[in-house]
Amino acid sequence: MKKFLSLVLALVMTMSLVTVSAGAKDFSDDDSITYQEAVDVISEIGVVDGYTGGDFKPTDVLTRGAAAKIICNLILGPTTASALSASSAPFKDVPVSNTFAGYITYCAQEKIINGYSDGTFRPTATLSGNAFMKMLLGALGYDGDVEGYTGPNWSVAVIKQAAGIGLDDGNDEFVGSKAVTREEAALYAFNMLQA
């Protein structure tokens, strides 16, 4: 069901791409954005926000909490996702008052994300390109246990699947072990809509 809903959302968003380019947000740092089309589309449909000063900050690294928000916005749409909340702390370092608690709770319940063995999630920590790809595949409905996204070699299975459906298209310099940037996250999310 989740995969079907994701595909319906992707179809609706893809159909709206024609009108998005005419009304794309202008960021004060547009000239430093490498993946301009992806950032334009993903920001216009509300999946990724800019900052209050008008910047997008394309090369800033994505945090684990922000990644959960992106995933929820992709699956549920920004309006529904913004209403998510947590009635109890999903991880010992994510109190219900945390900005991302609702998003993290939803992603954990849907088995899209995992915490660490010590019971933490580390919402302010960065995540690798491989980890973000794993989250996107989970959002598309891929089951990590079935697909082999667990164990010591999980990243090999993730990258094979992600590359197979084109999640890394447009980034010829993809290094899965490096921290994913905000503009890379926008590109991969944009590719997910077309996967």
pLDDT at 16: 46
Please name every residue paired with 94 in a beta bridge, in sequence order, or none if there are none.
91
Token pair listed for 42: 């993903």
- Please state, in angstroms and rounded to a whole number, the distance separating the CA atoms of residues 32 and 101: 31
Domain count, the chain: 1
Tokens 């004060």 locate to 28
The residues, ordered by sequence, that sit 6+ positions from 107 with a Cβ below 8 Å of its Cβ are 68, 71, 72, 113, 135, 138
pLDDT at 19: 41
- Please state, in angstroms and rounded to a whole number, the distance separating the CA atoms of residues 91 and 65: 12
Domain that holds residue 62: 2-194
**Which amino acid type is present at position 51?**
Y
- Please state, in angstroms and rounded to a whole number, the distance separating the CA atoms of residues 131 and 159: 10
pTM: 0.86
pLDDT at 11: 47
- Please state, in angstroms and rounded to a whole number, the distance separating the CA atoms of residues 22 and 9: 21
One pLDDT digit (tens) per residue for the chain, 195 residues: 455 454 445 544 544 444 444 445 689 999 999 999 999 999 999 999 889 899 999 999 999 999 999 999 999 999 999 999 999 999 999 999 999 999 999 999 999 998 999 999 999 999 999 999 999 999 999 999 899 998 889 999 999 999 999 999 999 999 999 999 999 999 999 999 987
Token pair listed for 35: 């993946």
What is the sign, positive or negative, of the torsion defined by CA atoms of 174, 159, 8, 180? Answer: negative
pLDDT at 194: 87
